[in-house]
Amino acid sequence: MASGRLRVAVIGAGAAGLCSARHIISRSMTFEPPVVYETTGQVGGTWVYTEEPENDAHTHSSMYRDLKTNLPKEIMEFPDFSFDPSLPSFVHHSEVLKYLEEYTDKFSIRPHIKFNTRVVSVYPVLGGQEGVSWWVVANTQGKQVIDRFDAVMVCVGHYSHPYIPEIDGINDFQGQVLHSHFYRYPEVFSSRSIVLLGSGPSGVDIAMELSTHAKHVVLSHRDPPLMLTPPENVSVAPPVVSAAPNVLICEDGSKIQADTLIFCTGYKYNYPFLLPRVQKKGDEVAKHGDTLDWGFLEGEDMERPDLEQGHFPPLYKHFIHARYPTLCFVGACKIVVLFPLVHCQAQFFLLVLEGKCPLPPPEKMLSESCKELIEHRNSGLQLKYLHCLGLNQWKYNQWLADKAGFEPLAPVLGKLYEAIRTFRNSNLFAYQKLNFKILNREEFVLQTDRKNEAYE
């Protein structure tokens, strides 16, 4: 580029996209101001609550009306920007959106966001893999716009395209069927008999909400037994595998009389702008002379592990494309504390682009990604768990910081994360009433009416 600085496209203005843009802006000697593409008219991504889908159900948020965070704000926040300290530890989703809006304005990100702009195609400029640049094609106000970038940061999240497993006979079931993506509040389910398939955080949380209005709620899952005593009208059952007009049939052959089935089965990754496109006459992209069917997803079997739930590009360290390392997927990992993780991923990737954190050759990164996939398959785990970090996220974040040379996250975050798991398992109904305070990089306290209980 004429300025000698790198141009980076950021796709999405949720938490991951805003964090990526913030760190690009802070490196003005190396990078041009970012171009942030956002499909909707506001920042916040999944934290934007909407009552009903508008033109596209996939831009419809997964937030429900009364959702409170299941993690304390003290570990949710970006390390360089705090929540309002007067708020309780577990906050309503509207407070998280407010926090992201304040973050946007604090770091002057808003002027760089192209709102109501949908990215329709991203593909590499031909002529090499290392240091490859990118064409980004977007639709805005009915016009197609194409621009060229040195790197692309995909920050679209993974809570917009519901995953619904196949259930034999589901089309014969006469009750209501929906995914938790479309759940908003419990009152509309009054006096119903409801089955929720899946016992992740949303399944358990929605079951507890529904118990105050529904006739009966069944939490259907194959995970280990829940460590809680549910309300009288909530029971558990093996996973539903088939359906009849008024009955849902479980894996063990037992039957549940129900009038509503809610899938709490998670979400698919979805990157339609990365799929090869067929050139059409007059296509603006075709004027640039590049072939659109460029084999981005072809080749090794590892690159198409599972289009339903798996992450189809081969990823190095769960977020950098192993073949085209100027493309990354910030925040694609699952079962993580997102804001601190993307804070680390964004800095790592930008330091790679600056040449301060060399990566292995693409062949080695591809080999490592393939090995990881094979080991995952051999372990018997489903492919949808390929990029789930869970308890390993803190070691992962530390590795990113050590390798790239930026300040690591405070160890107290991992300690508080572990404590929350214990509190949640011991009392699912009361843990969100707890309040915490971080004292320093190593210690936090549980605040009670009587005293502060210190932890380190």
Spell 364-391 as b/e; 16+ CB within 10 A means b: ebbebbbebbeebeeeeeeebebbbbee
Q: Which CATH architecture does the domain made up of 164-265 adopt? A: 3-Layer(bba) Sandwich (3.50)
C-alpha angle with apex 330: 22 to 139, nearest 5 degrees?
Answer: 80
| The pLDDT value given to residue 63 | 93
Q: pLDDT-based confidence at 229, cuts 50/70/90?
A: confident
Has residue 306 got a pLDDT over 70?
A: no
Report the range of poorest mean pLDDT among 42-51, 55-64, 335-344. Answer: 55-64
- Domain residue spans in the chain? 8-161+268-409, 164-265, 412-455
Q: Give me the residues paired with residue 444 across strands.
A: 438, 455
Q: pLDDT-based confidence at 297, cuts 50/70/90?
A: very low
Tokens, residue 113: 């966001």
Has residue 270 got a pLDDT over 70?
A: yes
Q: Domain spanning 8-161+268-409: which CATH class is it, in words? A: alpha beta
| The pLDDT value given to residue 56 | 60
Listed residue (456, 434, 444, 449) closest to 71, CA to CA:
434
pLDDT above 90 coverage of the chain, percent: 69
pLDDT tens profile 204-215: 899 999 999 999
CB 384 within 8 A of CB 309: yes
Give the C-alpha separation, 340 to 77, whole Å: 7
Residue, of 302 and 15, whose pLDDT is higher: 15
H-only helix segments in 177-231: 201-210
Has residue 1 got a pLDDT over 50?
A: no
Mean pLDDT across the chain, nearest whole number? 88
The three-state secondary structure class of 437 is: strand
| The pLDDT value given to residue 309 | 59
Give the C-alpha separation, 389 to 397, whole Å: 10
Give the C-alpha separation, 334 to 332, whole Å: 7
The three-state secondary structure class of 21 is: helix
Residue, of 397 and 128, whose pLDDT is higher: 397
Has residue 226 got a pLDDT over 80?
A: no
Average pLDDT, integer, range 423-439: 89
- Taking CA atoms, 453 is separated from 89, 109, 412, 419, 447, in Å, by 15, 39, 15, 12, 7
> In 10 A of CB 174, how many CB atoms?
11
Has residue 318 got a pLDDT over 90?
A: yes
Report the range of poorest mean pLDDT among 19-23, 248-252, 363-367, 376-380. Answer: 376-380
> In 10 A of CB 77, how many CB atoms?
19
| pTM to 2 decimal places | 0.91
Average pLDDT, integer, range 69-96: 97
Residue, of 57 and 28, whose pLDDT is higher: 28
| The pLDDT value given to residue 53 | 62
